[in-house]
């Protein structure tokens, strides 16, 4: 089944007529995503690949009925209001692909998020995919294959490589989530891992962390629960050799003083029972070994 999204998830795309939005909408449709409408101001009344386009989210909701999720491909200056518009219209899953949103604008978004039931993934993220069922965002179609491994990652590019490795090793995936690399994101490791804990089809989890912040350490108690419930967790921490005080790629990937150092993350995760992989190529090999142990014990 996977988590958060499936083949029945009714999706809209905000920014559907833009360059990025139109390209990735086609990719999502190729993956059989159930996209029921698009939203672009002043483009209402048009169609894109047979999908009706509306001026506002409220118009789309009024015309199409219940909307479960939205994917946002809107420029950084306009994206915060697009997110808030989705929240105010009761959309549960909000996937924000947009990169470069100012952090003070995200503070306003979080004000609304905390007062709603919406779950935001991102911003500056590749999105979410439940393999074989649906895709919201920019995860490449050809790396997805239905299987038994859940993946949650702060890094987009690295996660694509890992998904391909899982596919090649006949492990496949349940759901893959790219959390995003900004300091102020929505869904975090702790919440995503808890969902995998409660998903009967997810038999193991891959967690891709980065330097910076304390999200990985805060997720350690849930990692412990996963391991105790015979769901092996393999972790890879990107940027381990990055110099202190220097941002590496993501806005959130920065070590300042004692905060965000990879050794603290690795120590906390190891204590929780996770296995730390030094290279991504080792991940499927470790998973197969750990899954075989679980099978023998049962």
Domain ranges of the chain: 11-121, 140-297
**What is the value of pTM for the model shown?**
0.93
CATH class, 140-297 region: alpha beta
Lowest mean pLDDT among 100-114, 152-166, 245-259: 245-259
Lowest mean pLDDT among 29-33, 115-119, 135-139, 153-157: 153-157
Show which residues are catalytic. 250
On the question of a common fold for 11-121 and 140-297, the answer reads yes
| CA distances in angstroms from 32 to 12, 28, 48, 136, 287, listed in the order given | 14, 7, 16, 11, 29
- 170: nearest Cα among 296, 288, 3, 289: 288
What's the average model confidence in pLDDT over 42-46? 97
pLDDT at residue 254 greater than cutoff 50: no
Note the CATH architecture for domain 11-121: 3-Layer(aba) Sandwich (3.40)
Q: Count Cα neighbours of 129 within 13 Å in the Cβ-side half-sphere.
A: 30
Could you read off the pLDDT of 76-132 as tens digits, one per residue? 999 999 999 999 999 999 999 999 999 999 999 999 999 999 999 999 999 999 999
The mean pLDDT of the chain is 93
pLDDT at residue 45 greater than cutoff 80: yes
User: How far out from the chain centre does Cα 215 lie?
Assistant: 14
| CA distances in angstroms from 24 to 58, 105, 123, listed in the order given | 23, 25, 16
Model confidence at 286, pLDDT cuts 50, 70, 90, reads very high
Lowest mean pLDDT among 209-223, 230-244, 252-266: 252-266
At 241 the pLDDT is 57
């Amino acid at each position: 089944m996977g988590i958060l999204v499936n083949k029945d998830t009714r999706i809209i795309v905000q920014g559907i007529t833009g360059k990025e939005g139109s390209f990735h909408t086609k990719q999502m449709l190729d993956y059989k995503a159930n996209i029921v409408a698009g939203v672009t101001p002043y483009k209402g009344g048009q169609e894109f690949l047979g999908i009706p386009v509306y001026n506002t989210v409220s118009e789309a909701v009024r015309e199409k009925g219940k909307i479960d999720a939205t994917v946002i491909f809107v420029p950084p200056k306009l994206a915060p209001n697009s997110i808030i518009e989705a929240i105010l219209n009761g959309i549960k899953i909000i996937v924000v692909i947009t990169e470069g949103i100012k952090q003070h604008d995200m503070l306003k978004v979080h004000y609304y998020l905390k007062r709603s039931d919406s779950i935001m993934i991102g911003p500056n993220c590749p999105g979410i995919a439940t393999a074989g069922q649906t895709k919201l965002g920019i995860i490449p179609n050809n790396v997805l294959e239905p299987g038994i491994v859940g993946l949650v990652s702060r890094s987009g590019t690295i996660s694509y490589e890992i998904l391909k490795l899982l596919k090649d090793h006949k492990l496949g995936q349940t759901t893959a989530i790219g959390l995003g690399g900004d300091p102020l994101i929505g869904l975090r490791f702790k919440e995503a891992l808890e969902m995998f804990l409660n998903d009967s089809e997810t038999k193991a989890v891959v967690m891709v962390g980065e330097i910076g912040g304390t999200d990985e350490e805060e997720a350690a108690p849930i990692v412990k629960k996963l391991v105790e419930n015979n769901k092996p967790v393999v972790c890879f921490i990107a940027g381990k050799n990055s110099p202190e005080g220097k941002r590496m790629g993501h806005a959130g990937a920065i070590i300042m003083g004692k905060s965000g150092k990879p050794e603290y993350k690795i120590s906390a995760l190891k204590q929780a029972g996770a296995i730390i992989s030094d290279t991504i190529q080792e991940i499927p090999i470790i998973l197969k070994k750990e899954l075989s142990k679980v099978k023998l014990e049962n």
